[in-house]
Amino acid sequence: MRISRRQFLSWGLAAGAAAAVQGSSWAYFGHVMRTSDRRDTPVPTVCRACPAACGIVGYVRKDKELVAIMGNPEHPVSRGKLCALALAAINLHYHPERLLRPQRIDRAKAEMTPAVVEAGRTIARLVADGARVVVDTWDETPALGAFAGAKGQVISREALAGYNRARVMEAVWGVEVRPDFDRADLLLVFGANPFEGGPRFIHDARRMVEARVERGMRMIVFDPRLSNTGGRADLWAPLRPGTDRVAALAILRYAMERANLDEMMMFGQAMLPLAELTKVVDPFDMATAARLCGLPAKTLTEAAAMYVAATRPATMAGGGVFEQVEADDAYRAIALLDTLGGIRPVAVMPRPWRAPSTMMMAPDEAENFYAGLERGSAAKVVLITHRANPVYERGPALERALRAGAVAYHLSISPFPNETTALAHLTLPEALPIESSGRAWLSSYVPTPTFAEQKPVVAPPPDVWTADEIFRALASSLNAAAPANEDYDLEQVRQWTGAQNFTAIGQGIFAGDSVFTREPMYQAPLADLAKLARLPDVDSDENSFRLVLHGSSVTSSDSARGKWLAEINHAGALFLHPDDARRLRVREGDKVRVRGQAVGGVEFAREVAVFVSDGVRPGCAALVEEQGHNAEGKLAAAKRFHSDLDPDTELLWWEVEGNGANLSPLVSRVVNSSRKLTASPPPKVQVEEA
């Protein structure tokens, strides 16, 4: 009997779980590198380089030396697959520029315990005097709720990063969803790049590859830039930014003209008159839609024909859709393709949070908070930044405000120096995720509520505390009325799913005794559908470009510090179409100045090198994000230096190329009238000779 790779993997996973129940040894103990010393001890945990929480195994020699990081095949979602960010965690553990002692704004060093006590007393005094406490964090901890509950609010970067996606999907389907890769024979990808990054990077990419290899799933990618995903698609459609709705409705009209449809169509639980849907798609004939999207009519027609020929088409949307100003309209149009002839997407269990929602700032509140600091109009504030770097993201306006004393007290908690720690009254060194403990929920591809334990693979450096220990000490100094609720996230999951007991299905991996059964139902108010019929304005400004900032599989907020990652991707070039390069009279390798309005209306400019390519549509300029970290140490700035801990720092061959340019402050932040969504449309920039 012939079995597929998917069957083999699923049977192997089931066998591993059965062995665990029978009390046999855990399967992953046999997962040893061929070059590994047999004395190396495997320690399973989860990667926290991004929200995906893939399973990793750290190999420890003589109970103290981290020698390797590999994937954990028992992890039910990542199944042993890892990206470069997870593998490079070993770089961060041994990084020669780690913060090992508390540091004041004048660079004076301090001891950890007295510094934490001092910070707690200062915050307590300011709170008693009426100060507002705001914690800006990328990684919530159980103790954070107790600390913030004393009189504080939380800006959860992880929650805000997925805010648009979750809210728009809930408005359209009633729940956050993902494509059904197990059944789809065609995937239409709008503004997403799952082969390079995203909230479920490894998870999505692995399933897409399996679907294409095992079942021949075809793929169409709509994106102004030829990403890794677009480069592996059957068709790449480089549409104009913000016209995803137009492309989707044109395909829908093409399909409706060739299908036998009843007078009434079922959308979720509501019957929708076909005449109403016809009014929505009627303005989007192929010629009009192609003109608005900036595509050849042949390309859009080919995409529509592929959709009609498919038996189980599905859609996938990413940041290019959810970060539009009118994201709800764009996604509602895309989701219509799932309802007409496609397969219904799969519901994703909401991610539980460590801090109560009453403490969490919404995107508009977080934006208004920082905008108030920049204007100098905020009330007395205690700002705590934890693994967050708002100065890098917002640029000169926030930097000037903090230097001018916009906050009464700024405490930074970080493993490394960065643009924000340089402006903090006190910086406390923090243990890395692979040196810390916690709980990570896996909600993407598991039918039951499942979590994986985050275990410390190795101990942090001497006198370096975990973030949880720091927040516990600060909460104690504020005499917080209630202790940290260690199981707040478990309580949320039990409320959502009814799960009461969690059983081990692998070492450190636990599944609940219930199934998340929410069924997506397309919400089809006629008033919302009627809005989709309007034609968008076409941006014809030939003197400016739309800047498409994109990520990659080796770039993140920590990538500039990891030498392996920095070596792979350090000084990204500005991609320009050959027609635009000729118009600007620049050649590949020439330096150009990118200029625009930064956050707060400040003029912003950076010099970058040009790369001429057909991989970006005319009128757009593409540049990779998360570069230009000059304040994060010599390694991040691509400067050679001597280190006894890591002699490779004297071999930085990319010193001449530099470390790229930070254009993040050019991304505008827009809050719509409903206060539900934030949007970051591709900003207009001028590109001129340097």
What integer pLDDT is reported at residue 640 of this predicted model? Answer: 92
Choice between 10 and 102, residue whose per-residue pLDDT is larger: 102
CA dist 388 → 246, 384, 414, 467 (Å): 37, 9, 8, 13
What integer pLDDT is reported at residue 353 of this predicted model? Answer: 80
By the 10 Å C-beta count (0-12 exposed, 13-18 middle, 19+ buried), 259 is classed as exposed
Cα 618 off chain centre by: 27
Choice between 681 and 412, residue whose per-residue pLDDT is larger: 412
d(Cα 81, Cα 59) in Å, to the nearest integer? 16
**280 plus 361 within the same structural domain:** no
By the 10 Å C-beta count (0-12 exposed, 13-18 middle, 19+ buried), 401 is classed as buried
**11 plus 134 within the same structural domain:** no
CATH of the domain at 377: 3.40.50.740
Q: Model confidence over 531-586: pLDDT tens digits? A: 898 888 776 666 788 888 888 888 777 778 888 888 888 888 899 999 999 988 99
3-class DSSP state for residue 156? strand
Instruction: Indicate the helix (H) or strand (E) that contains 473.
Output: helix 467-477
Other Cβ atoms within 10 Å of 96 Cβ, number: 17
CATH of the domain at 86: 2.20.25.90
**337 plus 388 within the same structural domain:** no
What integer pLDDT is reported at residue 201 of this predicted model? Answer: 80
The strand pair at 591-597 and 603-612 is best described as antiparallel
Q: Model confidence over 426-481: pLDDT tens digits? A: 999 999 999 999 888 888 888 889 999 899 999 999 999 999 999 988 888 877 55
**126 plus 247 within the same structural domain:** no
**189 plus 299 within the same structural domain:** yes
CATH of the domain at 184: 3.40.228.10
Q: Report the domain count for the chain.
A: 4
The strand pair at 574-576 and 603-612 is best described as parallel
CATH of the domain at 584: 2.40.40.20
Sheet containing 313-317: order of strands = 235-237, 218-222, 186-190, 313-317
| pLDDT reading at 87 higher than 80 | yes
Average pLDDT over residues 185-192: 95
**138 plus 202 within the same structural domain:** no
What integer pLDDT is reported at residue 646 of this predicted model? Answer: 86
Other Cβ atoms within 10 Å of 218 Cβ, number: 20
Sheet containing 55-61: order of strands = 41-46, 55-61, 65-71
Token output for 180 = 């059904």
| pLDDT reading at 133 higher than 80 | yes
Average pLDDT score, the chain: 84
**196 plus 253 within the same structural domain:** yes
Q: Model confidence over 339-389: pLDDT tens digits? A: 887 788 999 888 888 777 778 888 888 888 998 999 887 779 999 999 999
Question: Which of the four pLDDT bands, split at 50, 70 and 90, describes residue 38?
Answer: low
| pLDDT reading at 657 higher than 60 | yes
What integer pLDDT is reported at residue 601 of this predicted model? Answer: 72
Query: Considering the domain boundaries, does residue 278 fall inside one?
Result: yes
Structural domain boundaries enclosing 616: 545-689
- Which among 93, 116, 150 is the end of a domain? 93
d(Cα 225, Cα 222) in Å, to the nearest integer? 9
CB contact at 8 A, 541 and 684 = yes
Query: Considering the domain boundaries, does residue 73 fall inside one?
Result: yes
pTM, to two decimals? 0.88
What integer pLDDT is reported at residue 8 of this predicted model? Answer: 36
What integer pLDDT is reported at residue 118 of this predicted model? Answer: 93
**143 plus 233 within the same structural domain:** no
Q: What is the dihedral of CA 550, 553, 555, 560, to 10 degrees?
A: -160
Cα–Cα–Cα angle for 45, 46, 51, rounded to 5 degrees? 165
**104 plus 71 within the same structural domain:** no
Choice between 410 and 199, residue whose per-residue pLDDT is larger: 410
Question: Which of the four pLDDT bands, split at 50, 70 and 90, describes residue 248?
Answer: very high
